[in-house]
């Protein structure tokens, strides 16, 4: 039974199912498979709460952190995947517990403008954007979504806006994205809060340590998002009850159980699902001399649902963050290029930038990484809620697609011990 205090602590994250074996909280020894942000957070939260529990954290690569990676080149700094976090007390609590208060700050309020590129031009998004949709279709879409299994495209009647939103979050078009998974509060998936929405928001707002964020704002780290994973790794290395195993290929649940002499109920699998389809995109860092692009307004970024364009999103990396991401007198942009749209040639990305962002020539143009993102097809969250498993499951494919989801999920799991 979830209490008002639970909802104040976790908010709408409690709508997401927790795939934890009923006996996990009674274990004196566990193994966490996957050393990405989710696995690191779970190990840290459990180990921090109960030093008597022995934790083995295994990772198939030669480094921890998973998709969390920050690219640096001199004074240029750009996150390959996630670059900021949206307001949630669990993230703020983690930052405080890791002692990162001085490295964590609100993003620049001047950079809150967002645009959609469609019909050959940029259109600024505002609170009135949704009102431009057919209100009756929007209302009916939301109502019907509460039966479960709907896509984001089923809810939002404007395909351009719906696709822009989902492409910016999960690199997929809206009819391929589970509405429950992306917005469980809107679709009313899962349990209902025992207190009113307004009172819940007020109490959650009062629970933030550090600083109280404004709705819709973001916050980020001075040295990029890898600051968070580096602090987690440092803390785990100091915990006597935690052992880290790199270059460990977890071939199966049975393989992990055999290697560590554990039952499946003592395993937390946070390494993702091998059965989920994935989409891929490349990430570019592009820098300009400030005076050459004064015509480019300060903002958060532009989403591009037009599938004939190789770029799906342009994030104003140096505009958004309160701390520096580029040398003085320069601006940095993070470019997302889905492989389904792209011919693989950098020249096509540059042509699209000249068309959408600026005709000025960049002084920095670098591919900084690739990402594989799970496809969260309609019905995904319902399937998770009804799933039976011998072990506990966590991570991006289970909890959600943002830092908020995996950080809060780790807290929820640790509370069972």
Q: What is the pLDDT of residues 269-302, one digit of tens each?
A: 999 887 889 999 999 999 999 999 999 999 999 9
Q: By three-state DSSP, how is residue 388 classified?
A: coil
109-114+277-374: in CATH 2.60.40.60: no
Please give the pLDDT value at position 276.
87
Distance CA 243, CA 29 (A): 11
Answer whether 84's CB lies under 8 Å from 320's CB: yes
* pLDDT, position 130: 62
**What's the pLDDT at 216?**
79
Digit-by-digit pLDDT tens for the chain (417 residues) are: 789 999 999 999 999 999 999 999 999 999 999 999 999 999 999 999 999 999 999 999 999 999 999 999 999 999 998 889 999 999 999 999 999 999 999 999 899 899 999 989 998 887 776 666 777 777 787 888 888 889 999 998 889 999 999 999 999 999 999 999 999 999 999 999 999 999 999 999 999 999 999 887 899 999 999 999 999 999 999 999 999 999 999 999 999 999 999 999 999 999 988 788 999 999 999 999 999 999 999 999 999 999 999 999 999 999 999 999 999 999 999 999 999 999 999 999 999 999 999 999 999 999 999 999 999 999 999 999 888 889 999 998 887 788 999 999 999 999 999
pLDDT tens column, 332-342: 999 999 999 99
**d(Cα 302, Cα 314) in Å, to the nearest integer?**
5
Assign domain 4-106+212-275+377-414 one CATH number from 3.50.50.60, 3.60.10.10, 3.30.1180.20, 3.40.50.2300.
Answer: 3.50.50.60
**DSSP string covering 233-300:** HHHHHT-TTEEEE-S-----HHHHHHHHT--GGGEEE-S--TTS-EEEEEEEEEEEEGGGGTTS---S
CB under 8 Å to 298, separation ≥6 — which residues? 110, 111, 113, 316, 319
Query: DSSP states of 104-152 as a string?
Result: EEEPPGGG--EEEEETTEEEE--TTTGGGS-HHHHHHHHHHHTTS--BH
Give Cα 377 distance to the centre of its chain. 17
Q: Domains of the chain: which residue ranges?
A: 4-106+212-275+377-414, 109-114+277-374
**Nearest-angstrom CA–CA distance, 314 and 346:** 15
């Amino acid at each position: 039974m979830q209490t008002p205090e639970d909802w104040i602590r976790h908010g709408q994250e409690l709508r997401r199912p927790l795939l934890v074996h009923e006996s996990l909280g009674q274990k004196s020894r566990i193994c966490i498979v996957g050393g990405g942000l989710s696995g690191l957070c779970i190990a840290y939260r459990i180990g921090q709460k109960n030093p008597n529990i022995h934790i083995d954290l295994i990772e198939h690569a030669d480094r921890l952190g998973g998709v969390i990676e920050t690219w640096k080149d001199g004074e240029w700094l750009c996150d390959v995947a996630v670059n900021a976090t949206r307001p949630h007390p669990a993230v703020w609590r983690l930052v405080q517990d890791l002692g990162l208060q001085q490295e964590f700050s609100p993003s620049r309020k001047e950079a809150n403008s967002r645009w959609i590129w469609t019909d050959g031009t940029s259109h600024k998004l505002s609170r009135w954007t949704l009102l431009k949709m057919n209100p009756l279709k929007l209302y009916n879409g939301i109502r019907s979504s509460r039966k479960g299994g709907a896509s984001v495209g089923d809810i939002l009647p404007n395909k351009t806006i719906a696709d822009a939103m989902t492409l910016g979050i999960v690199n997929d078009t809206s009819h391929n994205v589970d509405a429950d998974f992306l917005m469980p509060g809107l679709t009313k998936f899962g349990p209902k809060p025992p207190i009113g929405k307004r009172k819940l928001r007020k109490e959650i707002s009062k629970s933030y340590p550090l600083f109280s964020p404004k709705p819709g704002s973001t916050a980020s780290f001075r040295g990029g998002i890898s600051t968070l994973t580096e602090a987690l790794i440092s803390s785990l290395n100091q915990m006597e009850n935690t052992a880290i195993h790199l270059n460990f290929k977890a071939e199966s649940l049975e393989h992990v159980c055999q290697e560590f002499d554990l039952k499946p109920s003592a395993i937390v699998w946070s390494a993702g699902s091998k059965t989920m389809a994935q989409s891929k995109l490349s990430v570019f860092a592009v820098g300009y001399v400030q005076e050459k692009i004064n015509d480019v307004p300060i903002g958060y970024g532009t989403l591009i649902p037009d599938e004939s364009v190789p770029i799906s999103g342009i994030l104003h990396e140096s505009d958004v963050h309160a701390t520096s991401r580029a040398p003085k007198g320069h601006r940095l942009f993070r470019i997302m290029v889905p492989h389904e749209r792209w011919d693989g040639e950098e020249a096509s990305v540059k042509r699209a930038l000249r068309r959408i962002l600026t005709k000025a020539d960049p002084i920095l143009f670098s591919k900084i990484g690739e990402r594989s993102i799970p496809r969260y097809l309609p019905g995904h969250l319902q399937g998770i809620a009804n799933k039976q498993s011998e072990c506990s499951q966590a991570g991006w494919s289970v909890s959600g697609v943002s830092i908020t989801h995996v950080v809060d999920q780790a807290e929820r799991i640790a509370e069972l011990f």
